[in-house]
């Protein structure tokens, strides 16, 4: 697996733009929820921003990304338009799913986000189907499917990786290992020393990478995407990271040792990456501040759009159950 490639300055700055947008979105959503404007469980990706940011810059618009309830970082990284995105989390008719999907199930087909599932592990077998279609049609599209460390213990993970291996499908399986599955620490639920080790059981490459290191993450993704595009089959990437805001909003993370949390916060990947970019001379503080300001303005515009949007009409209950005009 060639890891010789390196991200250039523009790529690194784009990674930062995306990652900071994700953090800003997360902060703002939490405000909205606390203000009672989103009525739903919310699963913050805070701390995991660099993973999808570094992956997405390796993807084409026509590649697909499958994600989960904890997915706004993956969706923003893939380039979902902000207005219908925010509107969906607010359950409005102008949302990508007309408000029917909601925070756990934001999808936007036009952005290559066809499936966001709330069932742990379920996205993996579906990703295989998306990749199979691309393989059949001879396009060199790839599919990235994101899931957590806990998801690697469910049957669908096993069946999906094995099928992808046997069919040599262009799928990148990205395990965002944040160390916890709900309240269960990695080692209490997982027999494997590393999730990457599990790739051996499927005869595919398994790559463990620091998901909080943008360059390392970019390299791992770059190699896996190249392999998939070349028709050489799937890769399992284990991106080690941490989630700062519990499993879902309201979770006080009581099950995480204070020391572990403190160390993680001290090593927050986003400010670290920001400082590194400046230190390396890729950007000035001012330039990055501009990026953040532009993000913030665009996102706030989307929030206002969402808040001003109408809720779906009750008749939407009957629509989209089956094809129009066909009895359900």
Q: Between 130 and 161, whose beta carbon lies closer to its own copies?
A: 161
Q: Between 99 and 211, whose beta carbon lies closer to other proteins?
A: 99
Polymer length in residues for the chain: 328
Helix axes 9-34, 269-279, angle to 10 degrees: 150
Q: How far apart are the first and last CA of the chain?
A: 49
Please tell me what DSSP assigns to residue 242.
Answer: -
Q: Which of 56, 67, 96, 295 binds other proteins (CB under 8 A)?
A: 96
Q: Can you tell me which residue has the tokens 């957590």?
A: 148
Q: Which of 94, 128, 143, 178 binds Mg ion (CB under 5 A)?
A: 178
**Does 79 help bind its own copies (rule: CB under 8 A)?**
no
Q: Which of 15, 21, 97, 225 binds other proteins (CB under 8 A)?
A: 97
Please tell me what DSSP assigns to residue 208.
Answer: E
Phi, psi for residue 83 in degrees, rounded to 5: -65, -55
Q: Site residues for its own copies, window 188-217 (CB under 8 A)?
A: 188-193, 197-198, 200-204
| Window 155-194: contact mask with its own copies (x via CB under 8 A) | xxxxx-xx--xx---------------------xxxxxx-
Whether 159 contacts 125, CB under 8 Å: yes
| Residue 170 CB, nearest approach to other proteins (Å) | 12
Angle, vertex CA 32, rays to CA 84 and CA 300, nearest 5: 50
The binder of 119, among ligand TPP, its own copies, Mg ion, none, by C-beta within 5 to 8 A per type, is ligand TPP
**Does 124 help bind other proteins (rule: CB under 8 A)?**
yes
**Does 148 help bind Mg ion (rule: CB under 5 A)?**
yes
Helix axes 9-34, 285-308, angle to 10 degrees: 40
Whether 69 contacts 121, CB under 8 Å: no
Q: Site residues for other proteins, window 137-176 (CB under 8 A)?
A: 150-151, 153-156, 159-160, 162-163, 166-167
């Amino acid at each position: 697996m060639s890891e010789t490639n390196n991200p250039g300055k523009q790529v690194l700055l784009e990674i930062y733009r995306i990652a900071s947008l994700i953090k800003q979105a997360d902060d703002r959503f939490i405000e909205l929820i606390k203000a009672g404007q989103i009525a739903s469980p919310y699963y913050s990706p805070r701390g995991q921003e660099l993973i999808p940011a570094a992956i997405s810059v390796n993807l084409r618009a026509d590649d697909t990304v499958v994600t989960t309830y904890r997915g706004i970082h993956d969706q923003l990284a893939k380039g979902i338009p902000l207005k219908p995105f925010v509107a969906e989390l607010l359950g409005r008719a102008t949302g990508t799913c007309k408000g029917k999907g909601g925070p756990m199930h934001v999808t936007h087909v036009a952005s290559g986000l066809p499936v966001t599932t709330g069932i742990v592990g379920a996205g993996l077998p579906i990703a295989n189907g998306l990749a199979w279609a691309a393989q059949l049609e001879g396009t060199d599209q790839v599919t990235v499917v994101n899931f957590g460390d806990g998801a690697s213990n469910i049957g669908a993970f096993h069946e999906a990786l094995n099928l992808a291996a046997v069919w040599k499908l262009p799928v990148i399986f990205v395990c965002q290992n944040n160390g916890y599955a709900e309240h269960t620490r990695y080692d209490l639920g997982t027999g494997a020393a590393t999730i990457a080790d599990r790739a051996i059981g499927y005869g595919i490459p398994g790559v463990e990478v620091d998901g909080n290191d943008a360059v390392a993450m970019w390299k791992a993704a770059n190699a896996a995407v190249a392999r998939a595009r070349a028709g050489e089959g799937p890769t399992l990437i284990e991106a080690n990271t941490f989630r700062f805001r519990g499993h879902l909003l309201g979770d006080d993370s009581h099950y995480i040792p204070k020391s572990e949390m403190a160390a993680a916060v001290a090593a927050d990947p986003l400010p670290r990456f920001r400082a590194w970019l400046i230190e390396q001379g890729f950007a000035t503080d001012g330039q990055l501040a501009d990026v953040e300001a532009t993000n913030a303005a665009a996102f706030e515009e989307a929030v206002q759009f969402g808040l001003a949007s109408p809720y779906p009409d009750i008749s939407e209950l009957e629509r989209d159950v089956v094809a129009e005009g066909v009895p359900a």
